[in-house]
Structure 1
Amino acid sequence: MADGTVDDAGADVLILGASFAGVELLHQLRRSARGRGLKIVVVDRQAEHPYIPLVQERLVGRIDAAGSVLATRRYVEGPARARYVVGDVVGLDPDRKEVALASGERLRARFIVVALGSVLAPPAAIEGAERFVDYKFDREFVHAADRLAALLAPGGPAGERPALVVVGGGISGVELAGELARLARVRPAGWRAPKVTLVHSGARLLPHLCARAGATAERHLRAQGVELRLNTRLTRLAAGTAAIRPSAGGAGAGIEDVPCDMAFWSGGVRPAPVLAKLSLPRTDDGWLAVGPTLQCFATAKPTRPDIFAIGDAARVQSATGEWPTMQRAIECLWQAGLTARNLTRLAHEAPDYPHGVPPLRPHTLREDFFHGISLGDESLIVYGRLVLDFAAVNTWFRRFLMRRYFARYS
């Protein structure tokens, strides 16, 4: 239906986004007795999804790119018994509970769950920011992998090492820098060894984890040849160079140009642009504002109780302030389970809720959880102040989690 007509057959549940949070919600709904009877439609701009926690290893060829992609559409239309629509969301009418797609198709459902995620994008203030290479999602990944392979292929000036710059000292940044640096020792046949520089505005790496984790990561990266520029900001990208300067607390003479043949942004995520097109409450930063029950219109007496948002796209507004619903991928399981229970609880009631909207269960943010961090040849397991330096164990476990993820939706 690309002519702007509405799917009058409607659906019980419309899930917008089929990455980690969206596909897990569908899985949880189909596991419950009430959820199995619901008519569900899933919308996403792509039919397959890469395993994002190991995307940096896919980029350098350490794991097979084709073998680390979930055939999402095949799962949805097969075992999950739901309709899958490949398309871009361009609007949402919360009163009519109607979603518009770029194709002109419009979809309606009693319940809508927004799981449209985030984008890995630099701030516009960086001059030449369009030169950063996007690599998180499949449309971007193929281009990034091809460009990296071309840069590292034989044929460059003798003795010259291609210069790669990674911006951001959080988990994503240190993992990507470690994998790129590992190419100096283990790389596909014919590739040249790159020189890797990691630029981070803070005084230490992994600022959201304990100080020992940051110090250990710094030691491992330096040992693998990564040049660390801490207390430093990247201000401009140009052909062959990156301009950096000291950040607050940093020492230095001013702007410095460093070699840069390819730059990767790992300095944080931003709201997906589509969120601004949805008529839903948003935070000042552009994220979807939800209550503790993950409902978008979280009033004391809900007026639109049937619209939820989960995953990277949402930020919970509670009595204790604002906090993100996502800090690690595994939280998708917990959010999806909660939303499935709340949604099926509402589905048990008449659509107009003649007896009032029943109370729903709130989401619980799990502050403490194990973090696995890959650093090229090294690897860390971090829990609170505990830092375990078990490269082989953590590498095996992360592969194990990926295999279990794919098996879950087979």
Structure 2
Amino acid sequence: MAVLVGAGHAHLHVVRQSAQLRDAGVDPVLIAPRWFHYSGLATGVLSGALQPEAAKIDVEVLARECGVAYRPGRVVGIDRSDRRLVLDTGERLTFDAVSFNIGSEVAGSGNAQPAVMLWPVKPLTELFELRRALEAAARTTDAAPTVVVAGGGQSGFEVAAAVTGLMERLRLRPRVFLVVAGAPAWGPSRARDRLLQVLTGRGVTIVGGAVIDHDPGHCCLADGQRLPCDHLVWAAGLRPPALIGALGLPVADDGRLRLHPTLASIADDAIFGAGDCAVVDVAPRPGAGVFGVRAAPILLHNLAALGDGRPLRVFRPQRSWLSIMDLGDGRGLAMRGRFWWLGRSALQLKRYLDLGFIRRMRARLPQPKDAAHDRL
């Protein structure tokens, strides 16, 4: 039996193609929360351009239609010697092989004070709730709430753009601060400069520094600055979930599970990984959804190979990849290597790719036939 822990990009593909596992004599089981929220559409929802339902996949329905045994919930522990997983329900599940595709979580968000709402960018449902909170506030006042976004990575910039877009749709003057610690290092420098120009032109205030605390109505920076703040969005770095560190397996400096190119752990060939929670040792890449998508066919093949004895394949992550940011105003910023463009066509391409992924995952499949041979 092969257990899929988490419903990330790679595992959704494996579930859709699970007939290949059964044909190889491998019984798949999926353990994940019922709803998958697609990261590529999260800021589109936050900006008000899309409804939350556009970014959701019913994992239980998908598993049932694909003939995959499904258990709602999360894995909270593992006994590698006995090959058992511990679920948050208390159930213990034996496995022959297990794969982790559980994404990432926000690091260092601290504790929110009652009068200052703190919204981490992960889980993505927090961004959907932030939109509801901002819309509710807009119904009771003519002034937009003050939103501080902490984080100078792509997520921080994109969230600041999305919040600004939501305020624009609500016909309110945006009151958004983007707090950036150091010079942003992602993407081509000219693309970053152009994005800064766009955001400041739309009313976003860029502040150098690091948020270290927050109290009612304000947040505090390391240099002593105090910014007005009704809602603090925390986008200052991501880390793998604590479960990865609890596996007792080698991890990289950033906490991700270290993998062979076969996507198996470098220390246990029955434990696989994909997506943001793992990294291929010989070809490290940053966390990005594209790598989970590209790794999925390799993961599917190698899990099936456990049953039919075929040689394992290796995953070779590309050196450059397309990344498109939703700017919340009908435009996108597309980047690949040193090439970039900003405009409506970039967002149109992003919507085509992201909504296409959702459509493929929702598309109905014929019920798979039960295989008669023995299972792994």
Alignment partner of 1:57 is 2:37: no
Contact 1:283/1:289 (8 A) holds in 2: yes
Q: CA RMSD of the aligned region, Å?
A: 2.6
TM-score, length-normalised on structure 2? 0.87
Provide the C-alpha distance between the structure 1 equivalents of 2:334 and 2:144, rounded to a whole number of angstroms. 32
| Aligned-partner Cα distance in 2 for 1:335–1:118 | 17
Residue 75 of structure 1 deviates from its aligned partner by 0.8
Distance in 1 (alpha carbons) for counterparts of 2:109 and 2:8: 24
Q: How does 1:7-406 map to 2 (within 5 A)?
A: 12-30=1-19, 32=20, 35=23, 37-44=25-32, 46-78=33-65, 80-122=66-108, 132-137=118-123, 139-155=125-141, 160-187=143-170, 192-204=172-184, 207-230=185-208, 232-245=209-222, 254-296=223-265, 298=266, 304-318=268-282, 323-324=284-285, 327-349=287-309, 360-377=312-329, 378-391=331-344, 393-406=345-358
1:18 offset after TM fit, Å?
A: 0.9
Q: Distance in 2 between matches of 1:73 and 1:278?
A: 26
Task: Report the equivalent of 1:4.
Answer: none
- Look up the SS of the partner of 1:341 in the other structure: helix
Q: What's the secondary structure of 1:387's corresponding residue? A: strand
- In the alignment, the residues of structure 1 paired with residue 118 and residue 189 of structure 2 have an alpha-carbon distance, to the nearest angstrom, of 29
Report the AA paired with residue 89 of structure 1: V
Structure 1 gaps, min length 5: 1-11, 246-253, 350-357
Q: Distance in 1 between matches of 2:38 and 2:244?
A: 23
Q: Deviations over 1:338-392 (max 9, x none)?
A: 111222223213xxxxxxxx8633321212122212223232222222221222x
Counterparts of 1:268 and 1:163 in 2: how far apart (Å)? 22
TM-fit CA distance, 1:161: 3.7
Kept in 1, the 8 Å contact 2:24–2:308? The answer is no
Tell me the distance in 2 between the aligned counterparts of 1:218 and 1:274. 37
CA contact (8 A) 2:76 2:88 kept: yes
| Partner deviation per Cα, 1:85-139 (whole Å, 9 max, x = no partner) | 0012111122322111121111122211111221123355x99799521343365
Conservation of the 8 A alpha-carbon contact between 1:370 and 1:382? yes
Change (3 A) 1:84 1:347: same
Determine the C-alpha separation between the residues in 1 that align with 2:23 and 2:295.
16
Residue 71 of structure 1: CA displacement? 1.4
**TM-score by structure 1 length?**
0.80
Distance between the aligned counterparts of 2:151 and 2:14, measured in 1? Answer: 31
What does the per-residue CA deviation read over 1:311-356, in whole Å, with 9 as the maximum and x for residues that have no partner?
A: 11112323xxx724x532122122111111222223213xxxxxxx
- Structure 1 residues 310 and 33 mapped into 2: Cα distance closer, same or farther (>3 Å)? closer
Distance 1:152-1:122 versus aligned 2 partners, 3 A rule: farther
Taking the aligned partners of 2:252 and 2:169, their CA distance within structure 1 comes to: 44
Task: Indicate if the aligned counterparts of 1:28 and 1:337 stay in contact, CA closer than 8 A.
Answer: no
What SS does the aligned partner of 1:366 have?
Answer: coil
Runs of 4+ in 1 over 6 A off after TM superposition: 126-130
Gapped regions of structure 2 (runs ≥ 5) = 364-376
CA distance in 2, matches of 1:140, 1:234: 19
Which amino acid in 2 is paired with 1:60?
S
Q: Highest Rg: 1 or 2?
A: 1
Q: Give deviations 1:219-257, integer Å, cap 9, x for gaps.
A: 111111111113x21121111111124xxxxxxxx4111
What SS does the corresponding residue of 1:406 show, helix, strand or coil? Answer: helix
1:153 CA drift (Å)? 2.7
Q: 1:407 corresponds to which letter in structure 2?
A: R
Greater length-normalized contact order (CA 8 Å, ≥ 6 residues apart) = 2
Deviation per CA, 1:6-27: give whole Å up to 9, x if none.
Answer: xxxxxx2100001222212323
Q: Does the CA-based 8 Å contact 1:381-1:389 persist in structure 2?
A: yes
What secondary structure is seen at the aligned counterpart in 1 of 2:334?
strand
Which residue number corresponds to residue 6 of structure 1?
none
Q: Secondary structure at the match of 2:51?
A: coil
Distance 2:22 2:314 in 1: 20
